[in-house]
Every structure is written in C-alpha cells, then in structure tokens.
Amino acid sequence: MTQNVIIIGAGAVGMTVATFLSRHTDHHIRVFSSDTHTAYSQCGMPFALGSHLFNLTDLIVKPRRAFIDMGIDLHLRTTVNNINVNNQKVITKDGIFTYDFLVIATGSIPFISPIPGDDLDGVYTLHTLSDGMNIEKALNNSTKAVIIGAGSKGSELAACLNKRGIKVTLIQSTSQVLPSILDPDMALIVRQHLTSQGIRVITGTRVDHINQGKGTHVGSVAAGKEILPADIVIITTGVKPLVDLAKDAGFDIGPAGGIVTDKYLRVKYNGKFLNNVYAGGDCAQVKHLITNIPVLIHSGAAARRMARVIGKNITKKTSTLSTYPPTLHPNVVAMEGLTAGSVGITSQTASKHDIHVISGSSKGYTKAGYYPGARSLYIKLIFSDTRLVGAQVVAAEGVKERIDALSLAIRMGAVIDDLLRWETSYAPPVSMVIDPVTLAAEDRQKKMWK
C-alpha cells in the first residue's frame, strides 16, 4: 500500500531514509529542507578547505538529479512552518501536505555564546556547505586565522588550515583540547602534535572581543591579555539541535535539548511514542549505554545507522520494529599526521556522573620496534571495577580501527579478562608483537594487584 512519507531535512538522515524507502517501498516520499543542498559530508569540510586535492562540492553525496530519478519529491529552500500532529499534516509555503509517516531530521545549528564583534566580516561558523564555500573564498585572502573552540571540528580545521600555509591560533576556553572526548593526559599528546606543526594553541582562555580591522572586517581577537592578529576568525564551539519546529508541534524535547526518542527512534507526543513519527541525527537525543542519560550524537556514521533503523521501521509492522541501541558515541578526529579517538566515557565524564573508574594506559608503537617508520601509539582504557566502559587512542595510524574494536568490546560487556585473553595478530610492518591494547589492560591489572 502506497503511503505518504514526509521527511523534514535533506541531510544525511533525511536523504538516507528517502533513498532506503525509494528502494524498498512504493511510498510517496517528500523531502523538505530550508537548505540549498542535499546531503553532503559535513565531516569532510575541514579537509576540503585544507587541501586542494578535492573540492567542497565533491562532498555532496549524490547529485540532486539522482534523488529525483529515484522518484523522491524534493523541496529544497522550503521551510516547514508547522506540523499538525492530530491531522497528520505539514504546512509549508508550497502548500499543506498529509503524511502517513513523518521523519524529523532537522539537524543542528552552530552553538555560539555571543562575543562582542562576532558580526564583523571575516567571522564565520563552519556548519553548512555554504559556510564552507564562504570560508574557502575568504581563505584566499587570509594569512592569519583564529579558530575559537578546540573540539573535534576546531582541532581538525586548525590542522588543515595550518597545512594550507595559514598561520593558525587555536583557542579554547577550558583547560585542554578535545575536552569532551579525551582526558587531560591524552589531550596533552594532541596539543603537543598541533604545536609541533606550528599551530599556536591557547587553552584556559576566553575570547573577550573580536576587533575590527580594515572597514567592517575583522582585524584581531582579544583573549586574556593578548591581541591575536586575525584576518579570518572561525567559531567552532559546537552545535545545538534544531528543534523549534518539533517543539512547537508538541513533541517532547529532552534534557540534552534534543527531540526525545525511544529505542525505535519514535518521537514522544502527549506522553506516548507515536508509531508514525520518527526523529534521527543531530536533532534527536538517544540514551548513552554507560551513563544511561540522553545524549546528542553528531556523526555521519550514526546518522546513517539511525536512518536505516527509521527506514526499516517505516516498512515494518510495529511488532517487529528495528532498534537503535544505546550509544557509546565513538569518535575519531584526524589532524594531519595524528588521529585521536574515543569511545564510551572518559575519566572526566565518569567523575561528573559519580562513576568510580580505574584506568590502564600504555605507550606502544605502530610497528615492531626495529621496523623503520614505527610511530608512537597511546592507549588509555577506562574500567568501572573490571568492566571496560571507555577507551581513548592517540596515534599516527591504527586509531579508528582500535576505537571500533573497543566500541564492540564495551557493547559486548568485555571485562579485563576478555582483553587480557584477546588474541591479536602480528606482522612486523603493521604491529608490535603484543598489541598496545593488551599492554594497557595489563597496566590496569597491575593496579588490581596492589
């Protein structure tokens, strides 16, 4: 039976759901987005800006034409004004549309604490593809950049712009880089890498002003007691979920600021989860596997997985709905020669939630010690009693795969013995004889003996 599916948002979640449904159903699929572009790799923008090896437009997943050819009814530059849940209708400038299923994938917008001068020319956020294109233009006339916010995006962007030959200052109000994914000891290794590349890293310092230079263009940034010259300023202080539309429609918004979802990614309305309204991506909150509290996930990989769950659930009977399990939020941050990764909780997050943890750490290498080109590999494992609840890896390579392995380990309930018994493989050009993960587990075990 053909049904009407309305998807709000043409990003990774929206277009993946649309594609999935066009392949597996004959539903009529309408997508509304206020954006000019369909899904593109947001995560790829720092890298496109940092090199001339590929362009921002290469980040667009599929040409618009491809979606239209699939029979998807695409309404770009079209804001949804209102959702009427009781009548199952969506109100836009193009008209009023009825839905059998509704998918809310409105994404996020940059989160900025107001800074005097943040409205000057040359001050940007990096969130949409249009932002990227504006920054690309501006960079051609820039030699000195100040990046405000040393989270994942800011740290990647700092490394990329530095590689492009721009003098970069990276500034963070709290005391370390990558505060939400790394503990201070691991963050220090990242900081040393960025510094060794020629990036100036300032932490524990708030930006007081963005100062005018020539005309209405930025000229410098005042932070602490310093004036940092800048012909471009990029603010990367995080994002917040875009939920006004959902809130106005009466859907529950949770403590993390996202749309409340259950494990099927259904949305809550008047105290119950609806079988025909789903939310996913940056605008939806899901439970964290370790802390059990709702969190927001900003990740293309999560977006794709959520979209698959939503797509399947729209094609299925309620009794056999697919689930999106509680998250461990695995992350990797690639910074030109060094990658940092994290999964589960950090010691800092644990302490915030009164979870007592013990860690085990190791410094190993990416190859056999005698093998030319062996690089340092740092691992930190976080245990609650004997159970693995978090992991951090920092190295030139082999980070993403180890974070993934540890993501699976945590999800499957691994305890220290599982890690100690773990049979790892070995060849001198690709590993040490004993994997650094095992060494970190052994370090944790020593603490047990004390």
- Summarize as ranges the residues that interact with its own copies (CB under 8 A): 41, 43-44, 47, 51, 53-54, 58-59, 156, 299-302, 304-305, 325, 327-334, 339, 341, 343, 368, 370-372, 397-405, 407-409, 411-414, 418, 421-431, 433-435, 437
If the CB atoms of residues 80 and 159 are measured against its own copies, the closer one turns out to be: 159
Phi, psi of 347 (to 5 degrees): -60, -35
- Give me the least distance between CB of 449 and its own copies, in Å please: 11
**How many residues would you count in the chain?**
450
| Cα–Cα distance for residue pair 396/260, rounded to 1 Å | 38
- Give me the least distance between CB of 351 and its own copies, in Å please: 23
Please confirm, yes or no, whether 160 is among the known catalytic residues: no
Label residues 234-268 b or e (16+ Cβ within 10 Å = b): bbbbbbbbbbebbeebebbbbebebbbbbebbbbb
Q: Would you state the torsion angle of the CA atoms of residues 95, 14, 156, 182, taken in this order, to the nearest 10 degrees?
A: 120
Helix/strand/coil for 48: helix
Q: Is 45 exposed, middle or buried (0-12, 13-18, 19+ CB in 10 A)?
A: buried
From the centroid of its chain, how far is CA 148? 17
If the CB atoms of residues 67 and 97 are measured against its own copies, the closer one turns out to be: 67
> Quick one: angle between helices 12-24 and 300-315, nearest 10?
30
| Cα–Cα distance for residue pair 179/33, rounded to 1 Å | 32
β 89-92/80-84 pair status? antiparallel
| Cα–Cα distance for residue pair 208/317, rounded to 1 Å | 55
Q: Is 447 exposed, middle or buried (0-12, 13-18, 19+ CB in 10 A)?
A: exposed
If the CB atoms of residues 98 and 426 are measured against its own copies, the closer one turns out to be: 426
- Give me the least distance between CB of 86 and its own copies, in Å please: 35
| Cα–Cα distance for residue pair 328/432, rounded to 1 Å | 28
If the CB atoms of residues 43 and 230 are measured against its own copies, the closer one turns out to be: 43
If the CB atoms of residues 210 and 432 are measured against its own copies, the closer one turns out to be: 432
- Quick one: which of 156, 100, 397, 424 has its CA closest to 277? 100
The type of residue at 18 is: A
Q: Which two tokens stand for residue 419?
A: 């890690």
Q: Which runs of consecutive H residues, i.e. helices, occur in 283-333?
A: 300-315
- Give me the least distance between CB of 228 and its own copies, in Å please: 27
If the CB atoms of residues 144 and 400 are measured against its own copies, the closer one turns out to be: 400
β 144-148/167-172 pair status? parallel
| Cα–Cα distance for residue pair 47/55, rounded to 1 Å | 9
Active-site residue, selected from the candidate residues 7, 8, 15, 43: 43
If the CB atoms of residues 313 and 407 are measured against its own copies, the closer one turns out to be: 407
- Give me the least distance between CB of 159 and its own copies, in Å please: 10
If the CB atoms of residues 122 and 341 are measured against its own copies, the closer one turns out to be: 341
Q: Which two tokens stand for residue 104?
A: 């809310």
| Cα–Cα distance for residue pair 233/216, rounded to 1 Å | 13
| Cα–Cα distance for residue pair 73/182, rounded to 1 Å | 43
Q: Which two tokens stand for residue 307?
A: 């979209």
Catalytic center residues: 43
